[in-house]
Structure 1
């Protein structure tokens, strides 16, 4: 049986979880742009100060760091540090043909952990709460990677 198609329910779970996480990464970038445009600050590069249809009144202050924008940038960076590892480990996990309910718990658990991390970060909750959600997602990816290695080696 070819495991990498939608006839495989584990691949279907992966496809849904992966699509949600790809959307999360991409939409977080758009959120950062929205925040920069909304407040006219937190722009990233000197060339952003060129006059154009979007930036009709450039000023050097637009390059000043802004916490509203930086919070979104940090969320995006955190996604870029975590979600690609899930995408790789999750695909490898599909290939070892795990039990469906295990794949569902792990993959949907990762999606929920990243969603909870986003909410905690966006609403400025404590580091401990945010770190808890990060840790859950991280441990899921680590488990999947070890499970794949164990399955291949033994």
Structure 2
């Protein structure tokens, strides 16, 4: 493992993977922030100390909370595959410049996707950022398969 951590491609991968995983983790507290600031709770126990009338107001969906939750779900659908495919890609020994391009495009795409989604930027900003990340992951998957495919 120590030898692997000396490989520049693997170090680049771990850096970018850590960035997007941290970003994904922080979506949980962001959801909580939106829940509290918008007064929108999903569970009865979250408002247990409130009056019946207050509970009716607080136990509801809010569009801003749902927007953050959808963004978080989108992260789960894209960052987990990136980490798995990116690890395999890094292990195939790609050129550093190509690997950095893949990792940077994916990371920038995911960061911008969150800004576009939560910030309600007009389309196609969110779609293009999603597409950039997806293409980076698909390109790495293609490179992995091209490197190791045995039929």
> Quick check: TM above 0.5?
yes
**How far is 1:134 from its partner?**
0.3
1:60 to 50, 56, 59: 56
Report what 2:17 is aligned to: 18
Work out whether residues 116 and 125 of structure 2, in 8 Å CA contact, stay in contact via their aligned partners in 1: yes
Offset, 1:35:
1.1
Cα distance in 2 for partners of 1:81, 1:63 equals 27
Structure 1 CA distance, aligned partners of 2:37 and 2:125? 29
Match of 2:129 in 1: 133
Equivalent residue, structure 2, for 1:124: 120
Measured after TM superposition, the shift of residue 48 of structure 1 is 2.5
Counterpart in the other structure of 2:48? 50
Using the size of structure 1 for normalisation, the TM-score is 0.88
* Residue of structure 2 equivalent to 1:89: 85
Root-mean-square deviation over aligned CA pairs: 1.8
Q: By how many angstroms is 1:45 displaced? A: 2.5
Q: Which segments of 5 or more consecutive residues in structure 1 lack a partner in the other structure?
A: none
Structure 1 residue 36 corresponds to structure 2 residue 29: no
Please report how far the alpha carbon of residue 34 of structure 1 lies from its aligned counterpart in structure 2 after TM superposition: 1.0
Equivalent of 1:151, from 143, 147, 151?
Answer: 147
User: Could you say what secondary structure the match of 2:5 adopts?
Assistant: coil
2: CA distance, partners of 1:44 / 1:81: 22
Residue 27 of structure 1: aligned partner: 26
Map Cα deviations across residues 115-134 of structure 1 (whole Å, 9 max, x no partner). 11111112212232210110
Distance in 1 of aligned mates of 2:2 and 2:12: 12
User: How far apart, CA to CA, are the structure 2 residues paired with 1:142 and 1:16?
Assistant: 20
Residues paired across the two proteins, number: 148
Q: Distance in 1 between matches of 2:119 and 2:94?
A: 36
Runs of 4+ in 1 over 4 A off after TM superposition: none
